[in-house]
Amino acid sequence: MGISTTRFLTSLALLVACGLAAQDDAYKAKHQVNYQRFTRGDDTKVIDEAWGRLEWFRERMGGELGPDFTQQLLREAEKERGKYPALFQALGGPEKPVALNGTTWVNLGPTTSAFTQNGIRLTKVDSGRLRVILPDTADASGNTVYVLASGGGLWKTTNFLSNSPTWTPLTDFIGSNISGSVAFGGVTSTLYVGAGDPFDQGIGGFMVKSINSGSSWSPSIKLGTASKIYDLKVDTTAQDIVLVGTNTGLYRSANAGVSYTAVATIPATVKVWSLAKTSAGWLATTETTGAGAAGSVYLSTDQGATWTAVSTAAFSGAGRITLGIGLPGDSVVYAFAANTGDAAQLDLFRSSDGGSTWTALNVTSRTPTNPNTETATMDLMDGQPWYNHMILVDPADSARNTVYLGGQLASAKTTNGGATWTLTSNWLAQFGLPYIHADFHCAAYSNFGGTPRLYFGTDGGIFTSTDGGTTWDDTKNNGLVNHLIYALAANPGVAGSALVGLQDNGTRIRSGLTSTFNQVRGGDGFGVAWAQDVTSASAVSMSSYVYNAIRRSTTSPVVDQSNWLPFTSGLASPGSSSVYNFVTPIITPPAGADSTGQVFFTYSKTGVIYQSNATGWTAIGAAGTGGITAGRFVRAVSHGIGVSPT
């Protein structure tokens, strides 16, 4: 294959990351997590830790990736294109690598699963985290749908109603990290995509455009110093006017995406989380950065050219705010808000005048009609208000009183404007509720052929309902290859083997030579390992969760979560965050280096290296001895270890 911008940027990022600034102590203090908080009694039923993705990037790269980092990588990418012009084929302006003679890479998946396990075994299918779902209103059949995936870019299917839709990636040659936001233009064949996932470190803060349904793309346009894109909307009243909410304020294009300028009347020091067009004009929600981050609402009456803060006491104490509206131009609009600092859910607010005035609905402390031990009140955001926000207003309800909310473990519905609520899903299909994967991020509605359809997007992909949320279908995840993989291990003695650790989709193992990957441990899957020189059915493999929550199996390959047993003897107790990396690395010796198949390595933040045997771990080196510098490893990040082949 030719050298793509994505592959080059990813490689360069890993090479130069060691020179980045030290981790922010205030960040670590605010977001310190406790392993015990995320387990229900033991390590078999695990709630994922959303901070894990950020911690993983920070520990691997040594801190935040600032705008100078992005600018430098984009410049280096331009140099590469200049060096190898024959490898790039222009299609209306964009780069697109041409396949050359040589090694052919085959996508192994995961495309589907036969089961998932997290204390409970389910026959459900997941994919990775979604940012936006766009049903194509120009296709009357309802078969054309786009989804924007975190780390996976933009995907499209033209047979969505099939049990196993055929999904096609559209932005692989632009950058798989294009996972900020996406919107249609005045016609649905025009797509505007913004790069920069809100919850991932990486290359972002730029825009691309397609005028042929994603077949080809324009060159990228950088948005100042922005690196993350939270929302993107298009005013299609006349020529497309594009509004882009970023981590450095709001950007606007008045010429259909040809160029963008920062909007001066919204501070460049705020995040712009959400945008919506109402009867009063355009609304934007902002949030300050740093400790005690506070949210505000702005209004524009001139298609986003100028903005004024909405003067209301209703949002006092708010942090991140997500807007919900049935149809563009509606007078009724909702706002789902976290509190200042995003430490807890604040409330759901409603406006009947397009967002000029607001009323708090006092939702958070309400008891749903079907409460359970995990969701006893309408505090759906639970401990992750900075992360999981979802709101959908049903446009089929003329009074706009039917609203859906999603948070961490559950979703809920009201049909009376928030007076009463009913839970509509549970993260593990418990309490008689249907399954939708945890951590809600986006939603959409369509009514093709008279069939109303709800689309919810979570850390586990896309879920749909055609009966108002009573039942849900997970099969549209089939073929959507966008899981976020932290680690990969294989065993030469097991043909085609692959054991992977995934963001919020657990530890999964490949089934034979298929693209089916079954989940054999829940929560997040960080480090994985598999003995390299033992081909028997008892070859040792390992899986880790946060801190040093390591489990070990002598069943090869693992077929069930019961195959994993705790393996922490010799290490400090789980939750010792002052000692262990949040992201627990496991290192496998190469083939020929370990005749026993029992040896693996891990290490702590404080500079202790451990080696395993059949029963546990032994410290083989510590800071200040054996050539290891006293004190912590550099900035306490998760470095790599190489093991001699002999």
3-state secondary structure 481-499: CCCCEEEEECCCCCCCCCE
Nearby residues of 556 by Cβ (< 8 Å), 6 or more positions away: 491, 493, 494, 530, 531, 534, 536, 537, 538, 539, 540, 541
Q: What is the mean predicted confidence (pLDDT) over 270-294?
A: 95
Tokens of 342: 């995003």
pLDDT surpassing 60 at residue 8? no
Between 64-78, 309-323, 387-401, the lowest mean confidence (pLDDT) is in 64-78
Among 71-85, 428-442, 625-639, top mean pLDDT goes to 428-442
pLDDT confidence band for 630 (50 / 70 / 90): low
pLDDT surpassing 60 at residue 18? no
pLDDT confidence band for 632 (50 / 70 / 90): very low
pLDDT at 331: 98
pLDDT surpassing 50 at residue 592? yes
DSSP track, 323-374: EEESSTTBS-EEEEEEETTSSSEEEEEEESSTTSS-EE---TTPPPSS--SS
Tokens of 260: 């963008």
pLDDT confidence band for 513 (50 / 70 / 90): very high
Return phi, psi of residue 487, to 5°: -150, 155
What percent helix, strand, coil does the chain show, rounded to 5?
10, 30, 60
pLDDT surpassing 60 at residue 488? yes
Between 61 and 299, the higher pLDDT residue: 299
pLDDT at 66: 66
Between 12 and 603, the higher pLDDT residue: 603
pLDDT surpassing 50 at residue 578? yes
pLDDT surpassing 80 at residue 523? yes
pLDDT confidence band for 22 (50 / 70 / 90): very low
Distance of CA 87 to the CA centre of its chain: 31
pLDDT at 263: 98
Q: What is the mean predicted confidence (pLDDT) over 17-23?
A: 31
Between 33-42, 376-385, 460-469, the lowest mean confidence (pLDDT) is in 33-42
pLDDT at 236: 95
Render pLDDT for 390-439 as a digit per residue (tens, 0 to 9).
999 999 999 999 999 999 999 999 999 999 999 999 999 999 999 999 99
Q: How far apart are CA 151 and CA 137, in angstroms?
A: 26
pLDDT at 11: 35
DSSP track, 17-50: GGGSPPPPHHHHHHT---GGGGBSSSSSSB---T
Return phi, psi of residue 530, to 5°: -155, 125
Q: Is 154 helix (H, G, I), strand (E, B) or coil?
A: strand
pLDDT at 424: 98
Q: How far apart are CA 196 and CA 178, in angstroms?
A: 6
What distances in angstroms separate CA 322 from CA 243, 284, 338, 516, one per listed residue? 16, 9, 9, 35
Query: What is the side-by-side strand order in the sheet with 206-210?
Result: 181-184, 191-195, 206-210, 221-222
Which H/E stretch holds residue 75?
helix 67-83
pLDDT surpassing 80 at residue 465? yes
Rounded to the nearest integer, the mean pLDDT of the chain is: 86
Q: Quick check: 157 and 169 in contact, CB under 8 A?
A: no
Among 159-173, 424-438, 558-572, top mean pLDDT goes to 424-438
Nearest alpha carbon to residue 470 among 452, 443, 458: 452
Between 144 and 77, the higher pLDDT residue: 144
Render pLDDT for 175-189 as a digit per residue (tens, 0 to 9).
656 899 999 999 999
Query: What is the side-by-side strand order in the sheet with 167-169?
Result: 130-135, 145-149, 153-157, 167-169
pLDDT at 634: 44
Render pLDDT for 114-137 as a digit per residue (tens, 0 to 9).
999 999 999 999 999 999 999 999
